[in-house]
Amino acid sequence: MRRLWVTDAVIVLCLASWALPALAQEASPTPVHDAAPAFVTGIEHCSIDTGTTDTGADGVMRYRGGWATCTHEADDPRVSGAVDYSWDADLWPAGGVQWGAGTISNDGGTWEGTYAGVVSDPTQGDVITFWLKGTGDYAGLSYYYRVTGSGPWEVTGLIFPGDPPAPSLRTGE
């Protein structure tokens, strides 16, 4: 009888060593983010410090060292939060170009990256494209979005798995 108990114990231990890793794997927490792409809409409210301004002999107004502090309100909470961006621009009478880098931050992590777009008069508004990479809970995800308008800006974008495309693929360089 004693021998049977030892044999049963060995069998139970062997089964447990086989089954426990599988059970532990199933019990691990699921990631906060969903790997499936998600379409995003929202609005962005910004306060812009234009930095230094210089008008060249060519008539181009150059803004350097500016800063945008914004609130990004989206229908996906992963990309809703506080925004801080550097801001540079070159403006001609009919409009101009702008570019910079920065982050969207919230309790889950940050989105970091760059942007470029056009500056226009208030009746036509801006068109700006952002490419951001997630950190924290958003690691492994990227966020592309476009803002249009003249404030508050309308947001349309996509959260997707992987890295943003290389700059040369985005700009044709």
**For residue 114, pLDDT beyond 80:** yes
Asked, for residue 129, whether it belongs to a domain, the answer is yes
Asked, for residue 57, whether it belongs to a domain, the answer is yes
Q: What is the pTM of this model?
A: 0.75
Asked, for residue 30, whether it belongs to a domain, the answer is no
Report DSSP state, residue 138. G
Largest CA-CA distance found in the chain, in angstroms, rounded: 102
β-strands 109-119, 95-106: how paired? antiparallel
Asked, for residue 7, whether it belongs to a domain, the answer is no
Asked, for residue 159, whether it belongs to a domain, the answer is yes
pLDDT of residue 93: 84
* Across 1-5, 131-135, 148-152, 169-173, least confident range: 1-5
**For residue 98, pLDDT beyond 70:** yes
Full domain range(s) for residue 67: 38-171
Of 85, 90, 94, 84, residue with least CA distance to 63: 90
> Which of the listed ranges 21-35, 61-75, 116-130 does the model predict with the highest average pLDDT?
61-75
Asked, for residue 20, whether it belongs to a domain, the answer is no
Of 126, 153, 125, 143, residue with least CA distance to 43: 153
Total of domains in the chain = 1
Write the CATH number for 113.
Answer: 2.40.350.10
